[in-house]
Amino acid sequence: MKELYRDLVEQLCAAVNMLPDKAEETPETTVCALWQAAAGVPVSVQNVNELALVPLDAVQIERLQELVLQRIAGIPVAYLTGRQRFMNLEFLAGPEALIPRRETELLGWAALDVLHGMAADRAQVVVVDVCTGSGNLALALTHHAAKARVYAADLSAEAVSLACRNAHHLRLEHRVEFRVGDLLSPFDEPCFHRSADLLVCNPPYISSGKVDAMPHEIIRHEPRVAFDGGPLGIRIIQRLIGEAPRFLRAGGCLAFEVGLGQGPGFVKRLSADGRYAGVRPIEDAAGAIRAIVAEAR
């Protein structure tokens, strides 16, 4: 088994360029995750080191070799294992939605801090998550904030179906409601107007012209709608900033992710917008703004 493991790691080293936005995926963790999948134990690459490699029978070895070939062909590991970790939770992953990224955890933890502050003296806090994808932000906030009542939506019915399966997988379906629709339109009804404590979004923010130049592993397998932010990459974020005050209560917060280089411009725009106050940029380890939190007046 050790020889098989070494051979498969060498195959991946020679054939696959690991992506920088998935630093947790190495040839070693990939082989381990695919090994567990072949054994019938689906696990994310982030959690795979917690499990020992189990002996495989002939059928399972053949399945493992097939999975490695599929990985070499460009299919993302998370789609082969059906798992991806996000904010310490093990999510179901599938081609219906974007694979949750580590950089989005910056937004998630910042949003959670906001919720904890709001919940200190309140019985319930209302969260609206748009562009929810697999439901990773909505469900992570639901799990980590006991007082949160979460509503989430996505334009893609397929993504919402995966989000609902994740809610059941994490046993959170009783505390979160998913809807299908364009950005905030699923919540454009009186009960949501000026009532949300937190509005969170991981929007598409790649310019249309750059989407086709993205690595084949991404553009051939993950849904384009999750990346394409229009000609300049800011169309969805501009809409979000414009529409959010209709749904946020005074003192509520808008929190969203931005692409590299977009942060300073949006901080400036929000600071000049009289509907917002207390604009706070969230920086990554390299000092780049990757998320923004702004309070509604």
Its pTM stands at 0.92
Please give the Cα distance from 31 to 45 (Å, whole number). 9
Residue 104 and residue 85 in contact, taking contact as beta carbons nearer than 8 Å: no
CATH number of domain containing 209: 3.40.50.150
**Residue 96 in domain:** no
Within this chain, do residues 272 and 186 fall inside the same structural domain, yes or no?
Answer: yes
- Give the pLDDT score at 16: 82
**Residue 223 in domain:** yes
Within this chain, do residues 177 and 274 fall inside the same structural domain, yes or no?
Answer: yes
In the block, tokens 């404590």 appear at: 197
Q: What is the pLDDT of residues 29-72, one digit of tens each?
A: 999 999 999 999 999 999 988 788 889 999 999 999 999 999 99
**Residue 99 in domain:** no
Greatest alpha-carbon span in the chain:
66
- Give the pLDDT score at 228: 79
CATH number of domain containing 39: 1.10.8.10
Within this chain, do residues 206 and 108 fall inside the same structural domain, yes or no?
Answer: yes
Query: What averages of pLDDT result for each successive group of 10 residues across the chain (297 residues)?
Result: 85 81 84 95 90 90 95 94 97 95 95 94 94 97 96 97 98 97 96 97 88 80 84 90 97 96 96 94 95 97
Number of structural domains (the chain) is 2
Domain end position, chosen among 37, 55, 86: 86
Within this chain, do residues 82 and 157 fall inside the same structural domain, yes or no?
Answer: no
Range of the domain at 200: 104-296
Domain end position, chosen among 86, 118, 138: 86
- Give the pLDDT score at 15: 81
CB atoms near residue 174 (< 10 Å): 8
- HEC string of the chain equals CHHHHHHHHHHHHHHCCCCHHHCCCCHHHHHHHHHHHHCCCCCCCCCHHHCCCCCCCHHHHHHHHHHHHHHHCCCCHHHHHCEEEECCEEEECCCCCCCCCCCHHHHHHHHHHHHHHHHCCCCCEEEEEECCCCCHHHHHHHHHCCCEEEEEEECCHHHHHHHHHHHHHCCCCCCEEEEECCCCHHHCCHHHCCCEEEEEECCCCECHHHHCCCCHHHHCCCCHHHCECCCCCCHHHHHHHHHHHHCEEEEEEEEEECCCCCHHHHHHHHHHCCCEEEEEEEECCCCCEEEEEEEEC
Within this chain, do residues 176 and 79 fall inside the same structural domain, yes or no?
Answer: no
Within this chain, do residues 176 and 265 fall inside the same structural domain, yes or no?
Answer: yes
**Residue 98 in domain:** no
Within this chain, do residues 212 and 274 fall inside the same structural domain, yes or no?
Answer: yes
Domain end position, chosen among 55, 86, 117: 86
**Residue 95 in domain:** no
Within this chain, do residues 125 and 203 fall inside the same structural domain, yes or no?
Answer: yes
Cα–Cα nearest to 29, from 58, 51, 62: 51
Within this chain, do residues 128 and 54 fall inside the same structural domain, yes or no?
Answer: no
DSSP 8-state assignment for residue 109? H
CB atoms near residue 171 (< 10 Å): 9
Residue 273 and residue 244 in contact, taking contact as beta carbons nearer than 8 Å: no
**Residue 109 in domain:** yes
Within this chain, do residues 260 and 134 fall inside the same structural domain, yes or no?
Answer: yes
Q: Which residues contact 166 (CB under 8 A, 6 or more apart)?
A: 91, 92, 134, 135, 136, 139
Please give the Cα distance from 118 to 138 (Å, whole number). 17
